[in-house]
Amino acid sequence: MSAYFVNNHTMMLNKKHWLGLVTVLILGSCSPKITTVKTEPVKKPVEKEKPAEKKTVKKFSQASISLLIPFKLNEVNLKSMSKADVEKYAMPIDFYQGFKLGIDSAAASGLNFKLNVYDTQDDNAHIGALYKNENFRKSNMIVGPVFPEGLKYISNYSKLNNVPVVSPLAASEPSDFNNPNLISVVNNIDLHATKIAAYISKTFNPSNSIIVIINTKKTEDEQFASPFRKYFQTLTNGKFIVQEYPSAFAFETKMIKGKQYAVVVTSSDRAFVLPTIEKLYKLKNLPTGGYALNLFGHPLWYKQNYPADKLQGLNTVISSSYKIDYRSANVISFIKKYRSKYGFEPGEYAFKGFDEGFYFGKLMATYGEDYLQYITKEKHKGLHNNFAFVYDEQFGYINTSLMLLKYKIFALNIIE
């Protein structure tokens, strides 16, 4: 694989962070095998099931990928950088280095990759300038921009030139971009809400259960509540009783002993969520006999800190796009490779970058120029993300793979 870092500014970050920005060349080739089936002549025609014809794979001589990342090298000043600044710049570096390792692993399949890396500086003018760049225009895939505004800006270019664009990190609604060539990796909030709703519908008995939505009606909370509410209005034929309250305190006044409650808190505001969890825990553990409560939370709880004993006591379940199993042999191997190549520990975005680089690189290596036809067929279990894409003619390829995590032994464990 050959990698090219394109930028008009001097690289000023710590050398240890930039060990990955070197040129690596892996040459190889892979030829398709064609099997010929010989049929003996017979006196009478006999209908036989024809063997499936093998489709000839149009291999890339070299696959070109453009990676658009907001390194913002124009802003870097090592002398005045705070710890928060360093962490801000660590995200794009981590993602790039993980992505490159993923492409390197895919290149072992026999395909040579050309990886062009561009610093967008999180500026649409810089993205627009790439449209005249010869290497960029030859891209078989564009990964990035990272943020929604950049993805909106590049959508017209993607549609006019029929080139796929991967949204690598944004949990945006695909409908925000109206691009049939968009590949959305991160699950949007609608998918999270639907995953939780489907699990509740499957595991609770409608004859003795009540579903409660605790929703402050803030914009962010309603984004989670709306698809959840819609699921029970349209897909369960009204079998479940669904109630909605602005707080756990308002819910308390309407509770009925003997009912099983599935309580969905749609907020990720810790100032609201923490007292809500504490209140629900008390209601479940009243000295006079508590209520049967099971809690379901917002996906952002995964990154927030709440009392594990109370979450476990409430049988709390949340959805998540990702979870890293540090006991996995593949994860351990990746960490060792990352340490060896870059000299420090991989962060969350390095895992994301590796999974995406390896998945899309392997598709290109296996299926050549027709790789897009196989995105919806090739499911993948990565180190961090899992991929199971569906295709929408208006909004592109959407990753629908989600995990459900439950608090057990004071840790989150995958239950589905």
CB 314 within 8 A of CB 280: yes
Q: List, in order, residues 6 or more apart from 238 with CB less than 8 Å away.
A: none
Asked if pLDDT for residue 223 goes beyond 80, the answer is yes
Q: List, in order, residues 6 or more apart from 44 with CB less than 8 Å away.
A: none
Query: Would you place residue 120 in the very low, low, confident or very high pLDDT band (cuts 50, 70, 90)?
Result: very high
Average the pLDDT over 89-99 and give the result.
Answer: 92
Same domain, 170 and 209: no
Rounded Cα gap, residues 310 and 302, in angstroms: 15
The pLDDT value recorded for residue 37 is 31
Average the pLDDT over 143-170 and give the result.
Answer: 97
DSSP 248-283: HHHHHTT--TT-EEEEEE----HHHHHHHHHHHHHH
Calculate the CA dihedral of residues 38, 43, 49, 55 and round it to 10 degrees: 30
> Tens of pLDDT along 19-72?
334 333 222 223 232 222 333 333 444 555 555 556 677 899 999 999 999 988
pTM of the shown model: 0.85
Of 258, 288, 320, the residue that ends a domain is 320
Same domain, 227 and 251: yes
Of 276, 295, 320, the residue that ends a domain is 320
Could you tell me the residue range of the domain that residue 89 belongs to? 2-32+58-186+327-402
Same domain, 356 and 312: no
Task: Give 321: exposed, middle or buried? Use CB within 10 Å, 0-12, 13-18, 19+.
Answer: buried
What is the enclosing helix (H) or strand (E) of 292? strand 292-296
332 part of a folded domain: yes
Shortest CA distance to 368 belongs to which of 31, 3, 28, 4?
Answer: 31
**Helix locations, 108-188, DSSP H:** 124-129, 134-137, 148-161
Overall number of domains in the chain: 2
CATH number, residue 240? 3.40.50.2300
The pLDDT value recorded for residue 145 is 97
Same domain, 338 and 312: no
The pLDDT value recorded for residue 45 is 47
Same domain, 152 and 276: no
Average the pLDDT over 249-267 and give the result.
Answer: 97
Of 269, 286, 320, the residue that ends a domain is 320
Same domain, 20 and 129: yes
CB 300 within 8 A of CB 278: no
For residue 172, the SS3 value is coil
Same domain, 23 and 144: yes
182 part of a folded domain: yes
The pLDDT value recorded for residue 235 is 79
Same domain, 226 and 77: no
Rounded Cα gap, residues 388 and 287, in angstroms: 47
Same domain, 148 and 206: no
Same domain, 161 and 207: no
Name the token pair of 230: 């819609």
Asked if pLDDT for residue 118 goes beyond 60, the answer is yes
Residue with tokens 């295709």: 391
41 part of a folded domain: no
Average the pLDDT over 326-334 and give the result.
Answer: 96
What are the residues facing 386 on neighbouring strands? 381
413 part of a folded domain: no
52 part of a folded domain: no
Same domain, 65 and 93: yes
408 part of a folded domain: no
What are the residues facing 317 on neighbouring strands? 296, 406
CA 196, 228, 351, 142 torsion: positive or negative? positive
What is the enclosing helix (H) or strand (E) of 107? helix 83-107
23 part of a folded domain: yes
Same domain, 308 and 343: no
> Tens of pLDDT along 339-389?
999 998 999 999 999 999 999 999 999 999 999 999 999 999 999 989 999
Rounded Cα gap, residues 137 and 303, in angstroms: 38
The pLDDT value recorded for residue 49 is 55
Q: List, in order, residues 6 or more apart from 416 with CB less than 8 Å away.
A: 199, 403, 404
Rounded Cα gap, residues 323 and 216, in angstroms: 29
The pLDDT value recorded for residue 77 is 62
Name the token pair of 214: 């605790």
What are the residues facing 214 on neighbouring strands? 245, 265
407 part of a folded domain: no
The pLDDT value recorded for residue 23 is 31
